[in-house]
Amino acid sequence: MTLSPAARIALRVVMFLGLAVVYVPLLVVLVNSFNADSAFGWPPSGFTGRWWSQALHNEGAREAVLTSVKAGLGATAVALVLGSMAASAVSRYRFFGRETVSLVVVLPIALPGIVTGIALSNAFQVVLKPLGVGLGLFTVIVGHATFCVVTIFNNVLARLRRTGTSLEEASADLGADTFQTFWHVTFPALRSALLAGGLLSFALSFDEIIVTTFTAGPGAQTLPIWIFSNLFRPNQAPVVNVLAAALIVLSVIPIWIAQRLSSGARGVA
């Protein structure tokens, strides 16, 4: 289908407007993190790096970043195990309820975060609280893993379906057992998919706030919750802006790397 010059220009204008709505506010946050004015007047009266120094020496901010990193790594590890196992079962075996398993695994990322958060909070209060386990880092990791597992599942499932079973069958014919086939044939084919899915999972976990609000408790304050809690405190406004800028960068980099890995894998296949 060919488009007229006017239609192409209109599509480009709409595309640039859409991108501007998404990325101009992010650019403003990045610029304001160097704004010399503590009230963040616009345009900036000057530029300074002292807010970044203050953020680096802010104990609460450092603890929040460390908590977010722990939660992201924990949720990603859980998602890698469960997501790859579920994808292998769905891709390689036929059994009753296979499509239902796929739906159940993918559903958490489609549900509103507040619904997932309330459901998890109620479940933790009913199941874990009688056992003496309160809300904290563990419950945050479990909560984040519920939606992080989807990225691993989708990436691994797509890769397994694309590679097929011929190499695994040839390995078995040559005398390799199940573990040898997995380690020397299946796992190398899945490495980039697992890495891309893991990076996406970590990025999703690192900046998640809705589910975290219901599952964290007072002892596990992640970076997004710390930012939200200090957003309207006058003395913390510059530090909050710096951390928001850092959060943007830390979220974009893993997603960009994952996209590059996925694109490269598609090219090879």
Q: How many Å apart are CA 245 and CA 43, to the nearest integer?
A: 17
What average pLDDT is seen over the chain?
A: 83
Note if the pTM is more than 0.75: yes
Dihedral-angle region of residue 267 (phi above 0 means left; psi in -120 to 50 means alpha; beta otherwise)? alpha
Dihedral-angle region of residue 97 (phi above 0 means left; psi in -120 to 50 means alpha; beta otherwise)? left
- Angle formed by the axes of helices 237-268 and 5-32, nearest 10°: 130
What does the pLDDT look like over 171-186, one tens digit per residue? 888 888 888 888 888 8
Torsion of CA 147, 151, 157, 162, to 10 degrees: 160
What does the pLDDT look like over 139-179, one tens digit per residue? 899 999 998 999 999 989 988 888 887 888 888 888 888 88
Dihedral-angle region of residue 226 (phi above 0 means left; psi in -120 to 50 means alpha; beta otherwise)? alpha
What does the pLDDT look like over 234-243, one tens digit per residue? 667 778 888 8
The residue behind tokens 């044939």 is: 185
